[in-house]
A and B are shown apart, each in its own frame.
Chain A
Amino acid sequence: DIQMTQSPSTLSASVGDRVTITCRASQSISSWLAWYQQKPGKAPKLLIYKASSLESGVPSRFSGSGSGTEFTLTISSLQPDDFATYYCQLRGTFGQGTKVEIK
Chain B
Amino acid sequence: QVQLQESGPGLVKPSQTLSLTCTVSGGSISSGGYYWSWIRQHPGKGLEWIGYIYYSGSTYYNPSLKSRVTISVDTSKNQFSLKLSSVTAADTAVYYCARGTYSYGYNWFDPWGQGTLVTVSS
Instruction: Give the number of residue pairs across the A-B interface with Cβ within 8 Å.
Output: 54
Q: Is chain B's binding surface mostly helix, strand, loop or mixed?
A: strand
> Which residue of B has the minimal Cβ distance to A41?
B115
| Chain A 23-43 near chain B by CB (<8 Å), digits 1 or 0 | 000000111101010000011
Q: Are A30 and B105 in contact (CB under 8 A)?
A: yes
A37 to chain B, nearest CB (A): 12
B5-48 residues at the A interface, CB under 8 angstroms: 46-48
Measured CA separation A94–B41 after assembly (Å):
11
Q: How many residues of B contact A (CB 8 A)?
A: 19
Q: A87-B47, A94-B46, A94-B48 are in contact. Are A55 and B96 (CB under 8 A)?
A: no
Q: Which of A32, A55, A87, A93 contacts B110 (CB 8 A)?
A: A55
Q: For residue A91, which residues in chain B have a CB less than 8 angstroms away from its CB? A: 49, 107
Q: Which of B46, B62, B106 contacts A96 (CB 8 A)?
A: B46
A interface residues (Cβ-Cβ under 8 A, vs B): 29-32, 34, 36, 42-46, 49-50, 55, 87, 89-97
